[in-house]
Structure 1
Amino acid sequence: MAAELVLRARRAVLGATEQPVSVVVSGGRITDLAPYDAPPAAAQTVTLDDDEVLLPGLVDTHVHVNEPGRTEWEGFASATRAAAAGGVTTILDMPLNSVPPTTTVANLEAKQRAAEGQLHVDTGFWGGAVPENLADLAPLHAAGVFGFKCFLLDSGVPEFGHLEPDAFGAAMAETARLGALMIVHAEDGRLLDEAALDGGHYAGFLASRPPAAEEAAIALVLAQAEATGAKAHVVHLSAAAAVPELRAARARGVDVSVETCPHYLTFAAEHVPDGATELKCCPPIREAANREALWAALDDVVDLVVSDHSPCTPELKEQGGGDFGRAWGGIASVQLGLSTVWTGAGERGHDLTDVVRWMAQAPADRVGLAHKGRIAVGADADLVRFAPDETFTVDVTRLHHRNPVSAYAGRTLAGVVRETWLRGVPVTGAEPHGRMLRRSA
């Protein structure tokens, strides 16, 4: 029988190599990898242009969709349409900023009902670990969440409380018992210096959230992971000073993974203008030397790069007239992550196989999605037609997330996503055909 679809590319990222291939697709899965010059018969054959590279769809495990409850900030339709436009074919939704948060099975089901019929990419869900829901972790795990998110300081929203050290230890013991992954916003609130805040001056905001706050919280995460045997993951690492401690813990056998985000690999504190609250995020964007140390830590301690897409309304970003203490902290970037990271990676001598490892395969592997994030027989046919040498200037009016706010506005980036396929079907932004995912193991 003829295949349903064959995608022919002179350049395709297959694991650690880039090579020519004919990707054969039937039933939404990759069924064969044939020679470029000898493609099998198919109902449809698509040949990529010579300036294009075939990539696996990215897996973004850190996306705040915010629906239901704060859908004016973002929603499933807009977030997943933006993801697909940026070459992301799988997202995991964070458990907070929606109302209700994903801290009980009933709340998970409310979120799943809200997502029904709106998904342009495949979507899974994190559960939340908060002070009052220790008994809810096992039912949420059984319901298929991919792990649990917790904060070690004020989360910024009242309905998602943070864990004090004793409660964090209890939650880590429970996730160890379940075999679940605990992902942690690791800043120690006791080491923040709110007195340093100085209105619209970025230097004051940066001083208010020192690297020591990340280092201390990460030390707690590592100690609890080592004591309980739990699997831990540090989200959005900003402070490169924590890298040696993380490296040492891994050498001792602690099961900890680490992510950073495109904005920490792109911007530098020295170049953040006063009042530019579109660049406010927590933990903060640090100095250029710190940024370069994070680049150096990729494939050493930092395993993956994900967006931490955290949008809000323009009013929340602008409240206080550019006051970093009052504006909402978060950067909306799910559509721009691939181009942003590729721009920086190319400047530093990396190739597309590195970017795919950081943004597709490693995130998929850490959360147990072995059929995502790779061009391989048996994997979902989630694929991206990418023009790495084409550049564009970010126009916020052409981004698909709900509100026209972006830290990257006006920035020139390399790499254009020309087409995205989800399980072999083009994602056009018109008819959603994404699925809801459950943790399978």
Structure 2
Amino acid sequence: MKGSSVVEIVLRSTRVVTPEGVGPAAVAVAGGRIAAVHPHDWVPPRAARVADYGDAALLPGLVDTHVHINEPGRTAWEGFATATAAAVAGGVTTLVDMPLNSVPPTTTPAHLAVKRRAARSRVHTDLGFWGGAVPDNLAELRPLHDAGVLGFKCFLSPSGVEEFPELDDAHLAAAMAEIAAFDGLLVVHAEDPDQLAAAPSPDGSRRYGAFLASRPRAAENAAVARLVELARRLRTRVHVLHLSSAEALPLIAGARAAGVRVTAETCPHFLTLTAEEVPDGATEFKCCPPIREAANQEALWAGLRDGTLDCVVSDHSPCVPELKVPDFGAAWGGIASLQLGLPAVWTAARDRGHGLADVARWMAEGPARLVGLTGRKGAIRAGHDADLVVLDPEAGFTVDPAALHHRHAVTAYAGRTLRGVVRATWLRGRLVAEDGRVTGEPTGELVERAGAGVAAGPSALAAPPDARDATEPAAASKEVTPT
């Protein structure tokens, strides 16, 4: 379909969410891209296929820039096929894969090539990659940037896997200076290691309160302050990942007002789940930084309303079920939610008076802007990829983990009633999911940073490595992964 100027498909709805607002429209698709957004009663060419979704809303396909797919190396935890199937079933059309917990991590161009080979012909979404910034790969950052990664992730405290160590003060400053030299982007797991070391240990406890005390807000606040000061001095573009502590919001807002290039995200679980409701031993709720109290949650919503928080992304970080032991100190940290982010956020947003345009801005436009994909993704606009999601915003459902497409039936949303049912997902003009079913073979393409060359589709990639290299899980670390 690429290159065609003939309208092949028209998607019609009385509620189309565009940058100009929400209203009736007909979206014409040609060659996998949006050719035009017409009035609702526009008469399409005779040969065009028409999909009329009535009063169901038509939103841009979501862009999720924080996903741990874990392939190769820990594919028993997740994998490209299962993660991307869950994504399209939930209305997500573009993912960006984190550089850990795969083996090898994405810390060199050679490791990036392994990732790309592992993803070949297995992805139902379009897919980009983060590179990693670790203590020993300073010389690899520019080559990774040139190879097309969308930015670099680092940790300020232990990551939980030995192959991806954190950056101390000196290594952080060096990485930020190097990334600033080519105007790259550093995305940061911001928890201060000294604050964490001083907090009480949750080891051996089934109580969520013990775990929450072990990851205090002060750890996030101190790390964000450190990051902002370095960004101010070195003029590096930085992004705070999965912000949980609302106390850090004024610092981020003030820094941005002063010209510091800092952005921040939060996650559906921080906006929809609260510490007060986590049962003892329910480690499916464990993530780092943690789900905090209801009052903190409302302050995060205020940060979304005033624009301090730029986007909402999943931080989907699953593991094998046996690592979710009921001890909050020993259990693996990470929440599996990739398929549920849109209904979870819509449920909570609607209760607070927000509309579909807000959700599209937080979950499609904002993440696309973060990784430089606004010319292709994140909006229903002529010239963009025809990535579209059909949402019935009034319909509700109860979460059944067995009905989810990610590899293991473990989620903190089990049994929760959510509003907003994804009826269909279109990727570049192809119907890829309908009513929870993934339709057809994987047709996703790999996405590179703008300026790194032509983005390579699956057919342009080399053959995958030996199956054992791509899929055999490595021995799991016994440490807890802060995602």
Aligned residue number for residue 39 of structure 1: 43
For residues 404-434 of structure 1, the C-alpha deviation after alignment (integer angstroms, 9 at most, x for no partner) is 1000000000001111010000104331000
Aligned residue number for residue 319 of structure 2: 312
Aligned residue number for residue 344 of structure 2: 340
Contact 1:10 1:48 in 2 (8 A): no
For residues 262-309 of structure 1, the C-alpha deviation after alignment (integer angstroms, 9 at most, x for no partner) is 000011111111111000000000000000000010043111000000
Say whether residues 1:435 and 2:445 are aligned partners: yes
For residue 402 of structure 1, the aligned residue among 394, 407, 429 is 407
Q: One-letter code of the match for 2:377?
A: K
Say whether residues 1:419 and 2:424 are aligned partners: yes
1:321-400 to 2 correspondences below 5 Å:
322-370=326-374, 371-400=376-405
Mapped partners of 1:335, 1:214: distance in 2: 27
Mapped partners of 2:47, 2:111: distance in 1: 43
DSSP 3-state at the match of 1:11: strand
CA drift at 1:42? 5.1
Uncovered stretches (5+) of structure 1, i.e. residues with no partner = none
Contact 2:27 2:37 in 1 (8 A): yes
CA drift at 1:50? 3.0
Contact 1:69 1:100 in 2 (8 A): yes
Aligned residue number for residue 231 of structure 1: 237
Mapped partners of 1:182, 1:44: distance in 2: 44
Contact 1:361 1:374 in 2 (8 A): yes
Say whether residues 1:97 and 2:92 are aligned partners: no
CA drift at 1:48? 3.1
TM-score (norm 2): 0.89
For residue 213 of structure 1, the aligned residue among 216, 219, 238 is 219
Q: CA distance change for structure 1 residues 226 and 310 in 2, over 3 Å: closer, same or farther?
A: same
1:182-197 to 2 correspondences below 5 Å:
182-192=186-196, 193=198, 195-197=200-202
Aligned residue number for residue 165 of structure 2: 161
Mapped partners of 1:39, 1:73: distance in 2: 48
CA drift at 1:194? 5.2
Aligned residue number for residue 5 of structure 1: 9
CA drift at 1:2? 4.7
TM superposition outliers: structure 1 runs of 4+ over 2 Å: 42-51, 193-196
Say whether residues 1:66 and 2:70 are aligned partners: yes
Mapped partners of 1:48, 1:417: distance in 2: 15
CA drift at 1:178? 1.2
Aligned residue number for residue 199 of structure 1: 205
- Alpha-carbon RMSD across the aligned residues, in angstroms, is 1.1
Q: CA distance change for structure 1 residues 169 and 271 in 2, over 3 Å: closer, same or farther?
A: same
Contact 2:131 2:149 in 1 (8 A): yes
For residues 350-391 of structure 1, the C-alpha deviation after alignment (integer angstroms, 9 at most, x for no partner) is 000000000000110111102101000000000111100000
Say whether residues 1:294 and 2:304 are aligned partners: no
Q: One-letter code of the match for 2:221?
A: E
Q: CA distance change for structure 1 residues 131 and 271 in 2, over 3 Å: closer, same or farther?
A: same
DSSP 3-state at the match of 2:319: coil
Mapped partners of 1:406, 1:13: distance in 2: 29
For residues 82-108 of structure 1, the C-alpha deviation after alignment (integer angstroms, 9 at most, x for no partner) is 000000000000001000000000100
1:123-142 to 2 correspondences below 5 Å:
123-142=127-146
DSSP 3-state at the match of 1:195: coil
Mapped partners of 2:310, 2:38: distance in 1: 30
Mapped partners of 1:324, 1:65: distance in 2: 23
Contact 1:51 1:388 in 2 (8 A): no
CA drift at 1:8? 1.1
Mapped partners of 2:320, 2:384: distance in 1: 37
Say whether residues 1:56 and 2:83 are aligned partners: no
For residue 254 of structure 2, the aligned residue among 239, 248, 271 is 248
Which sits farther off after the overlay, 138-147 or 39-48? Answer: 39-48
CA drift at 1:16? 4.5
DSSP 3-state at the match of 1:427: strand
Q: CA distance change for structure 1 residues 42 and 312 in 2, over 3 Å: closer, same or farther?
A: farther
Which sits farther off after the overlay, 297-306 or 176-185? Answer: 297-306
DSSP 3-state at the match of 2:28: strand
Q: One-letter code of the match for 2:317?
A: S
For residues 240-280 of structure 1, the C-alpha deviation after alignment (integer angstroms, 9 at most, x for no partner) is 00011111101110001100000000111111111110000
Contact 2:12 2:53 in 1 (8 A): no
TM-score (norm 1): 0.98
CA drift at 1:32? 1.1
Q: One-letter code of the match for 1:112?
A: R
Mapped partners of 1:16, 1:306: distance in 2: 23
DSSP 3-state at the match of 1:187: coil
Say whether residues 1:88 and 2:101 are aligned partners: no
Aligned residue number for residue 270 of structure 2: 264
Q: One-letter code of the match for 1:416?
A: V
DSSP 3-state at the match of 1:426: strand
Mapped partners of 2:371, 2:298: distance in 1: 27
For residues 210-251 of structure 1, the C-alpha deviation after alignment (integer angstroms, 9 at most, x for no partner) is 000000000111011111111000000000000111111011
Aligned residue number for residue 107 of structure 1: 111
Aligned residues: 438
Mapped partners of 1:357, 1:186: distance in 2: 24
Mapped partners of 2:372, 2:88: distance in 1: 21
Identity of aligned residues (%): 60
Q: CA distance change for structure 1 residues 200 and 16 in 2, over 3 Å: closer, same or farther?
A: farther
Mapped partners of 2:54, 2:446: distance in 1: 35
DSSP 3-state at the match of 2:8: strand
Mapped partners of 1:240, 1:16: distance in 2: 30
Uncovered stretches (5+) of structure 2, i.e. residues with no partner = 452-483
CA drift at 1:51? 3.4
